[in-house]
Structure 1
């Protein structure tokens, strides 16, 4: 449905929820300007080109994206879709270049998937009552834009205000997903260049865990990277699984808790900085020494 000028898009009137608000925000970026109405008038719904979250029909070929029926559309894992899940599925990829200026085209699918599973899915679950909603949940924040009984604001105006807020959230979520996908690409590229698959050297500090576990870097034991101003280089152990405090290979016991000259002497380098008492990270003032620490740890230290 590219080229949306003159297209009529409809959703329901009255109280709104996160799924219809976010769906609208996505469609604005994917389609560009279109005629929009919030209504429950069956004639207006029938004449629209695209209808979401109302109408009682799910039919992609006809541009119908409701999910309030007995035989409702579901994700491959059985989770019911809400309107935003359906709209993101079919229009999210077209919206992404407007959420992220200069997006890497080769990362588009990865970013779309990250947003779908890490952001959109939670709204689907909340809207369909298949997950509990705690205070402060994104869905409740969006619902807070609905006018109170004492307000003079119209529901339509409040909806558009909520949609602008939702767009800002989507932009930031997409930027984060883009940065994470870029980091994953850089880490995997560094792994391909590594002389030893057990040690990766990064030229800057990057989030690396996702690349390690989703990229299949099973042999990796240590990752080397600088601090923000490159005045120190870290040698970091790899955990056995995501978010674990364990280590595939711990740093030598003899190094742990030592600093500066004492650490340098025991580790056999000239510019050591420290070794954490738990043996998961140590540091030196040069990349060469940080790599040497990894090599010594693999060889059994000290």
Structure 2
């Protein structure tokens, strides 16, 4: 995937000198990931005569003009978000871009393609990876550099170990008497934030995305597991809850799935209720909660049970058929309890109406 830009040699990337931050460090790192720019010289200065001669400027110059490769975000009329440059991401219209976000918006797809050169992603998968890498690291740098508050109300504590803080601490200390090469420190900052970026790309493509495919497949096959479609079976243990929420929304089946069954790392099987906020949509049976092994098997009538958590959100069995039966019986139990509650409510309402009519007759 090519950006469509060509650059005349020698290529130079200009940014400001003095105190450096994570956004321009990442911007410079990303630019050097583009094959034609990998040997580009980085010039740190505020001298306008020097900057004017640079091939690309980031985070300096008070100009945003991609045709001239000027990528600053500090001028008053700058309002761009990822959505305004990449309309295919309409929800990304709140956080104003920093120099990192600008370079990512214009060159991110080519850069990700370079990092994932051995991966074959579909167009849809690539779009997802691009969005989530932005959310994982670039959006954070955009928000911090533009002074956007993470929370509307006050925070209980502050985080001092994020990548922006770690980059800031690479700057020379104000009271240090030791001579330092600030250009070398800037290169360290580029390496630090660049490593975080590449790890985010590789995680999304190689760990997160396969889990999404696995969960989607389990949703598509849910009626093979149980006729109601309320139980999914994961072919492999993986992080599934976030994917299930997202995919339910995409497939317009929000709230339909109640349990997930899967084999854990020990070879035993688990049944877990699908979270819905702080609670689960359906829990395992109330009369099983807190019991284990033979006592649980005797109480449930299901062989080889290992446990049910005291809160009822997860349980275990040595075998697949066991956890599937635990899920089925819990579904039936809660449907029966719900029906009983509805019948009780209807009966109470009917009795109330009768009493009301009786009182009316007596008054007449």
TM-score (normalizing by structure 1): 0.91
Q: Does 1:117 align with 2:132?
A: no
SS of alignment partner, residue 274 of structure 1: strand
Residue segments in structure 2 that go unaligned for 5+ positions in a row: 84-92, 151-157, 337-364
The residue number in structure 2 matching 1:51 is 57
Distance 1:207 1:140 in 2: 29
Which residue number corresponds to residue 81 of structure 1? 97
1:278 aligns with 2:278: no
After superposition, the CA RMSD in angstroms is 2.2
Please give the alpha-carbon distance, in whole angstroms, between the structure 1 residues aligned to 2:34 and 2:233. Answer: 39
Distance in 2, Cα, partners of 1:136 & 1:108: 29
CA distance in 1, matches of 2:195, 2:8: 24
Specify every segment of 5 or more residues in structure 1 that has no aligned partner in the other structure, as ranges.
none
Q: Give 1:23's match in structure 2, choosing from 10, 21, 27.
A: 27
User: Residue 255 of structure 1: CA displacement?
Assistant: 1.0
Asked whether the 8 Å contact 1:99–1:170 carries over to 2, the reply is no
The Cα shift of 1:102 comes to 3.4
Counting only pairs closer than 5 Å after superposition, residues 155-166 of structure 1 correspond to structure 2 as 155-166=182-193
Deviations for 1:178-208, whole angstroms, at most 9, x for unmatched residues?
3112211210112112224211111221111
Match of residue 261, structure 1, among 275, 285, 294? 294
Q: 1:101 Cα deviation (Å)?
A: 5.9
2:40 maps to 1:35 = yes
Larger radius of gyration: 2
The structure whose RCO (Cα within 8 Å, separation 6+) is larger is 1
- Indicate the residue corresponding to 2:70 in structure 1: 64
SS at the partner of 1:215? helix
Q: Is 1:30–1:94's contact at 8 Å kept on the other side of the alignment?
A: yes
Equivalent-residue separation in structure 1 for 2:191 and 2:58 (angstroms) = 18
Could you say which residue in structure 1 is the equivalent of 2:208?
Answer: 180
- Report the Cα offset of residue 17 of structure 1: 0.3
* Corresponding residue pairs, total: 298
Mark the CA change 1:229 to 1:100 in structure 2 (over 3 Å): closer, same or farther: farther
Counterpart CA distance in 2 for 1:207 and 1:152 is 48
Query: Take 1:50 and 1:285, find their aligned partners in 2: how far apart are those partners?
Result: 61
Cα separation, 1, equivalents of 2:100 and 2:26: 6
Could you tell me whether the CA contact under 8 Å between 1:237 and 1:250 is conserved in 2?
yes
- In structure 2, distance between residues paired with 1:259 and 1:229: 17
Structure 2 CA distance, aligned partners of 1:5 and 1:199?
59
TM-superposed deviation, 1:5: 7.8
Structure 2 CA distance, aligned partners of 1:30 and 1:120?
17
TM-superposed CA distance for 1:137, in Å, is 3.3
Q: Is the 8 A contact 1:111 1:177 kept in 2?
A: yes
Instruction: Tell me how far 1:104 sits from its aligned partner.
Output: 4.4
